[in-house]
Amino acid sequence: MAPGGPALFRLVRFWSRRWTATAAAGEDVDRTGHVLVLTAIDAASRDGRAQIVDVAAELGLDRSNASRMLAAAVSAGLVTKSVSPADARRAELAVTPAGAELLAAARAWQERMFAGLVADWPADDARRFAAYLARLAAETTPATTTTPTATTTPTATTTPTAAMPATRTALEVRP
């Protein structure tokens, strides 16, 4: 078996350095936060609406930090915040048409980035890798992530398929 752990952490370091350089240059920091918020609302939404607590869980943040990010997205016209008809103590969040446009642009950028990274690969390898990457992302959501121990035995009996749900990836933050 190939050494997956070191390869994973090389990728993490590569993208972390890239994002750190982007942040240091002041490039699209607000937009990056907005895309994270929009992605979280999309993932957490029920009938097109989500609540702050759901978005905080998707982002892996506490409620106050998520609220600050949401306030910025609301100010930018990307998200609406309204009182829940079911419970006046709760706010409901929805993506606006401008937010949907930004989210679509971010996802298109993600697809272009992925395609560029695997452009020289055989098509079957690229599809298989995309499916495994989607599986890894799905299995590492805040609600399901646990820290493996030395005694944890990984299994790899499930083959990814095109029917796997769309999931978030580490490349989702740059539109």
CATH number assigned to the domain with residue range 16-140, chosen from the 4 options 3.30.70.260, 1.10.3720.10, 3.40.718.10, 1.10.10.10: 1.10.10.10
- pLDDT, one tens digit per residue, over 127-149 is 999 999 999 988 886 654 454 44
Q: Looking at residue 84, what is its pLDDT? A: 86
- CB neighbours (10 Å) of residue 103? 21
**DSSP-assigned states of every residue in 47-98:** TTBEEHHHHHHHHT--HHHHHHHHHHHHHTTSEEEEE-SS-TTSEEEEE-HH
- pLDDT, one tens digit per residue, over 6-44 is 988 888 888 788 767 766 666 666 788 899 999 999 998
Of the candidates 95, 94, 118, 92, which has an alpha carbon nearest to the alpha carbon of residue 106?
95
Cβ partners under 8 Å of residue 158, min gap 6: 135
- pLDDT, one tens digit per residue, over 69-85 is 999 999 999 999 999 88
Domain ranges of the chain: 16-140
Overall pTM > 0.75: no
- What share of the chain in percent tops pLDDT 90? 46
| 3-state class percentages of the chain: helix first, strand second, coil last, to nearest 5 | 55, 10, 40
Distance (Å) of CA 90 to CA 36, 48, 87, 149, 163? 21, 16, 6, 38, 35
> Cα(3)–Cα(172) distance, rounded to whole angstroms?
25
- Of residues 72 and 153, more confidence is placed in 72
